[in-house]
Amino acid sequence: METMNRTFIIGDLHGCVHEARDLLDKLGPSPQDRVIFTGDLVDRGPDPAGCVELAARFESILGNHEENHLARRFSAPHKLSPEHLRTRASLGEAHYQFLSGLPLFIRLPEHQAVVVHAGVFPGRSIEQQDSYHLLHLQNTNGRDKKSFWPSKAPADTSFWAERWQGPERIIFGHTVVAEPFVHAFAAAVDTGCAYGGRLTALVLPEWEFVSVPSRQSAKKPGRVALYEILPGVRCFS
Ligand SMILES: [Mn+2]
């Protein structure tokens, strides 16, 4: 019997290579299936280089952490955080070569979907998007370029997914959600593995989620507490 090829979109690894292998074992992709990582392979977790090497066997888009490492590759060490320096020390020329070739988005026309790291600015086509928005966008007022942390955003802003009207459904990481979700025009897959949450894959064409538990100890992702970004959808912000 012929089975339909599947596409697995896996959320931000952030150095969690063991969980990535756990999840791939659970998914059991065939050579005909596609595996796409949503970027932010590096920083935070124990094995950034291992995550880059794993992603190189499949497909990945660029995350803001990769962008940062490429932009500051030759910056003086005293200008960089200990975490940044740890990642830098683990990466070699081949890793940087791979990261420099990563796309900002991957279109999945057979699913009317696009994989991006963070978000898309409302009212613009995917090709017209600013790389800053693709890599960083959270809350927006729909006019200015700036992106706001959801918990610190002015009242006239809202999470980009509330303003994006398609036609594509955007599959994104970057913003850590308490529960992954699929809405009309957006699907969130980053469940905070590096913070002790889960590593999650979105499985197409079913639009179902498969997760494995984190092996990291629980810690808060950057900011404060759970924050409602969309009705019934909470993120850590
Ligand atoms: Mn990110």
Ligand 1 centroid to 103 CA: how many Å? 15
Q: Tell whether 120 is covered by a domain.
A: yes
User: What's residue 39's pLDDT?
Assistant: 98
pLDDT along the chain (237 residues), means of 10: 84 98 98 98 97 98 98 97 97 98 98 98 98 98 96 95 97 97 98 96 98 88 79 91
User: What's residue 218's pLDDT?
Assistant: 79
Ligand 1 centroid to 4 CA: how many Å? 31
d(CA 219, CA 155): 28
Domain limits at 130? 7-236
Ligand 1 centroid to 172 CA: how many Å? 10
- Measuring CA to CA, which residue among 188, 185, 171 is closest to residue 229? 188
User: 3-state class of 208 per DSSP?
Assistant: strand
- Widest CA span in the chain: 59
Q: Tell whether 150 is covered by a domain.
A: yes
CA distances from 141 to 138, 147, 165 (A): 10, 8, 15
Q: Tell whether 21 is covered by a domain.
A: yes
DSSP state for residue 162 in the 8-state scheme: H
CATH for 44: 3.60.21.10
Q: Tell whether 2 is covered by a domain.
A: no
Ligand 1 centroid to 2 CA: how many Å? 37
Ligand 1 centroid to 73 CA: how many Å? 18
Ligand 1 centroid to 143 CA: how many Å? 22
Neighbours of ion ligand 1 (CB under 5 A): 40, 63-64, 174
User: What's residue 72's pLDDT?
Assistant: 97
Q: Tell whether 25 is covered by a domain.
A: yes
Q: Tell whether 217 is covered by a domain.
A: yes
Asked if 10 and 171 count as a contact pair (C-beta separation under 8 A), the reply is no
User: What's residue 225's pLDDT?
Assistant: 81
Ligand 1 centroid to 27 CA: how many Å? 24
Contacts of 133 (CB under 8 A, 6+ apart): 118, 119, 120, 121, 140, 145, 147, 160
Q: Tell whether 27 is covered by a domain.
A: yes
Ligand 1 centroid to 118 CA: how many Å? 6
d(CA 209, CA 201): 6
Q: Tell whether 1 is covered by a domain.
A: no
d(CA 128, CA 194): 32
Ligand 1 centroid to 135 CA: how many Å? 7
Ligand 1 centroid to 204 CA: how many Å? 23
Q: Which residue has the tokens 């200015």?
A: 144
Ligand 1 centroid to 93 CA: how many Å? 22
| Count: domains in the chain | 1
Ligand 1 centroid to 127 CA: how many Å? 20
